[in-house]
């Protein structure tokens, strides 16, 4: 990470804490690694991202419906899905520091170092060898690469490595009072399986016709060994996933459709297009016949935010096999029964949240001549902003607070607005800029006479005098989902 990017990332993290977006979980007990809580503004921003996704996927598509399945599922689900046997990371321990690392992560760090030092041929060669070893599950090959490229433990500095072993990422617990092996259940590592096991229920009760999709938003859990980069890689996180069921043979057409549709969703937020790119998977997951990541340029490089996977009929066929229930679709157009193929779109809500914060964060120098001034603002899309408008009485007396509260009461049914009377107006503006509030409304003495207020726009800082009864409409136009969902 360059010094500037490193600083930007650190500033975003401290801003997220200072302004009530993200806190370390159980911070008073020194925190829990890779687990985070969302604060008062973070929860609002997160909800708005969810709403944007849900509206665009469910509300805007006649053939997509949403569900909310449980986190706990029958343990056979995970046997059938392949997660019990195949949801592993290749891990290696350093015998001196006793620290455990993901073997591919150590190699990726080395590749990044080669690139930084201008040794691109070496970087390319190592990348190819690593992809090959991962593809063929060659654990000895991964270890050989670590030794060959003289990778040392960042803690002990030694190259005293164990063999590479597979480590399952699922958390398990017991259901009921008696802890026996047969009672072992898992915390879901993806929300997708809750959709697959409900395929028949939804298809029948919703009388869904292929192609159709089932969407859901929910928590997922992974015992990530290497947890870093703030909320990028967490042990408890949230996914927004959609499984789109299609006729076998048409899956590549839908794969392309969803690739373009999802990228459009990202770009509609106003992010500059060069910040995004597609990255085709070299190592396909056990269920996929094609997969691509939508990557965003974070301060620490291009990283995956969302995956689009062509999952074939793997999951439904496996659940049919393990449950003994017929999971098929009768297609009246071709007069045939078949197991549908699936295109999945899967986006990490927390990664989208981080992307949004980084993209919106701006430190502005507003100095004029000798007069030093600056502000930190979040240029959030108004639809995503936690608070849509802040209402300020100019002073705490002369009936201005009462008038401001009256205005607030007339707007709060439609929009999330807040009231603030503490500190000078300038300070109040800065606090709202820092959380991305699109509008600040100031009630002054003139307001009592002619029922007008000043309204200040966040990005331009322009102020305008408007009639109080126009406020609701001004805010509504700016924060309307129509601005994003065309
Ligand atoms: N159902 C497919 C699936 O789960 P994935 O690529 O493992 O695919 C999908 O995960 C998305 O979930 C990723 O693109 C990422 O945004 C998010 N994600 C995965 N692991 C995560 C973690 N440990 N912390 C935060 N987000 C994560």
Residue 27 has what DSSP assignment? G
Q: Is 238 in the pocket of ligand 1 (CB under 6 A)?
A: no
Q: Is residue 183 very low, low, confident or very high in pLDDT (cuts 50, 70, 90)? A: confident
Q: Is 315 in the pocket of ligand 1 (CB under 6 A)?
A: no
Q: Can you give the pLDDT at residue 110?
A: 93
- Out of 23-32, 45-54, 286-295, 440-449, least confident range: 286-295
Report the pLDDT averaged over residues 52-63: 97
- Alpha carbon distance, N-terminus to C-terminus of the chain: 37
Q: Is 311 in the pocket of ligand 1 (CB under 6 A)?
A: no
Structural domains for the chain: 3-72+195-357 (3.30.930.10), 380-483 (3.40.50.800)
The answer, yes or no, to whether the previous bond of 359 is cis (omega within 30 of 0) is: no
Protein residue whose Cα sits closest to atom 20 of ligand 1:
233
Beta carbons within 8 Å of 318's beta carbon, 6+ residues apart: 80, 81, 82
Q: Can you give the pLDDT at residue 41?
A: 98
- Out of 162-176, 184-198, 207-221, least confident range: 162-176
Specify the DSSP element, H or E, that contains 133: helix 120-135
Q: Can you give the pLDDT at residue 178?
A: 61
What is the share, in percent, of the chain residues with pLDDT greater than 90? 88
Please report the DSSP string for 193-233 in residue order.
HHHHTTHHHHHHHTT--SSEEEEEEEEEE---SS--TGGGS
Radius of gyration of the chain (CA): 26
Q: Is 304 in the pocket of ligand 1 (CB under 6 A)?
A: yes
**Residue 124 burial (CB count, 10 A):** 13
Residue 233 Cα to ligand 1 midpoint, Å, equals 8
Instruction: Dig out the tokens for 477 from the structure.
Output: 């136009």
Please report the DSSP string for 374-432 in residue order.
EEEEE---TTT-S-SEEEEESSSSTTHHHHHHHHHHHHTTTS-EEE--SS-HHHHHHHH
Q: Is residue 179 very low, low, confident or very high in pLDDT (cuts 50, 70, 90)? A: low
Residue 221 Cα to ligand 1 midpoint, Å, equals 10
Q: Can you give the pLDDT at residue 86?
A: 86
> pLDDT (tens digit, 9 = 90+) per residue, 349-406?
999 999 999 999 999 999 999 999 999 999 999 999 999 999 999 999 999 999 999 9
**If you search the block for the tokens 């509008």, which residue do you land on?**
439
Report the pLDDT averaged over residues 235-262: 97
> pLDDT (tens digit, 9 = 90+) per residue, 80-114?
999 998 888 899 999 999 888 999 989 988 998 99
Q: Can you give the pLDDT at residue 284?
A: 79
Q: Which of residues 284 and 375 earns the better pLDDT score?
A: 375
> With contact defined as beta carbons under 8 Å apart, do 348 and 218 qualify?
no
> With contact defined as beta carbons under 8 Å apart, do 294 and 308 qualify?
yes
Predicted confidence (pLDDT) at residue 230 exceeds the cutoff of 90 = yes
Mean pLDDT, the chain, as a whole number? 94
Q: Can you give the pLDDT at residue 157?
A: 94
Report the pLDDT averaged over residues 187-195: 98
Q: Is residue 135 very low, low, confident or very high in pLDDT (cuts 50, 70, 90)? A: confident
Residue 314 Cα to ligand 1 midpoint, Å, equals 19
Report the pLDDT averaged over residues 277-281: 94
Q: Can you give the pLDDT at residue 287?
A: 78
Predicted confidence (pLDDT) at residue 182 exceeds the cutoff of 70 = no
Report the pLDDT averaged over residues 300-305: 94
Q: Can you give the pLDDT at residue 378?
A: 98
């Amino acid at each position: 990470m360059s010094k500037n990017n490193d600083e930007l990332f650190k500033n975003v993290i401290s801003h997220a804490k200072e302004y009530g977006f993200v806190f370390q979980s159980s911070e008073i007990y020194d925190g829990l690694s890779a687990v985070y809580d969302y604060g008062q503004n973070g929860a609002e921003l997160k909800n708005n991202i969810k709403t944007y996704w849900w509206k665009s996927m469910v509300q805007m598509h006649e053939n997509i419906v949403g569900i909310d399945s449980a986190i706990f599922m029958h343990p056979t689900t995970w046997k059938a899905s392949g997660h019990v046997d195949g949801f592993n990371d290749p891990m290696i321990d350093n015998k001196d520091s006793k620290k455990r690392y993901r073997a591919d992560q150590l190699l990726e760090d080395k590749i990044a170092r080669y690139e930084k030092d201008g040794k691109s041929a070496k970087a390319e060669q190592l990348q190819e060898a690593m992809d090959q070893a991962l593809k063929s599950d060659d654990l000895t090959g991964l270890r050989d690469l670590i030794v060959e490229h003289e990778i040392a433990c960042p803690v002990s500095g030694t190259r005293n490595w164990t063999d590479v072993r597979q480590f399952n990422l699922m958390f398990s617990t017991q259901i009921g009072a008696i802890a026996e092996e047969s009672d072992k259940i898992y915390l879901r590592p993806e929300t997708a399986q809750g959709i697959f096991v409900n395929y028949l229920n939804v298809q029948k009760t919703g009388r869904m016709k292929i192609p159709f999709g089932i969407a859901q938003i929910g928590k997922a859990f992974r015992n990530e060994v290497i947890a870093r980069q703030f909320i990028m890689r967490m042990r408890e996180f949230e996914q927004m996933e959609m499984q789109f069921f299609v006729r076998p043979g048409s899956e590549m057409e839908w794969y392309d459709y969803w690739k373009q549709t999802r990228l459009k969703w990202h770009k509609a937020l106003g992010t500059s297009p060069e910040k995004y790119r597609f990255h085709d998977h070299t190592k396909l997951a056990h269920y996929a016949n094609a997969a691509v990541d939508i990557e965003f340029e974070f301060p620490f490089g291009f990283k995956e935010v969302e995956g689009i996977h062509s999952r074939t009929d793997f999951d439904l066929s496996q659940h049919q096999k393990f449950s003994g229930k017929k999971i098929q679709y009768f297609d009246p157009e071709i007069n045939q029964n078949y197991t549908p193929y699936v295109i999945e779109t899967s986006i990490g809500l927390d990664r989208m949240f981080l992307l949004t914060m980084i993209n919106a964060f701006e430190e502005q120098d507003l100095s004029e001549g000798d007069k030093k001034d600056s502000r930190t603002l979040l240029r959030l899309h108004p639809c995503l902003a936690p608070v849509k408008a802040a209402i300020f009485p100019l002073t705490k007396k002369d009936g201005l607070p009462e008038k401001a509260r009256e205005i607030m009461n007339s707007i709060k049914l439609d929009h999330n607005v807040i009231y603030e009377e503490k500190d000078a107006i300038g300070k109040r503006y800065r606090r709202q800029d820092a959380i991305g509030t699109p509008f600040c409304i100031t009630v002054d003495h003139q307001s009592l006479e002619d029922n007008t207020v000043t309204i200040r726009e966040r990005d331009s800082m322009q102020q305008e005098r408007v009639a109080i009864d126009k406020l609701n409409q001004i805010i509504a136009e700016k924060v309307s989902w129509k601005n994003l969902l065309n």
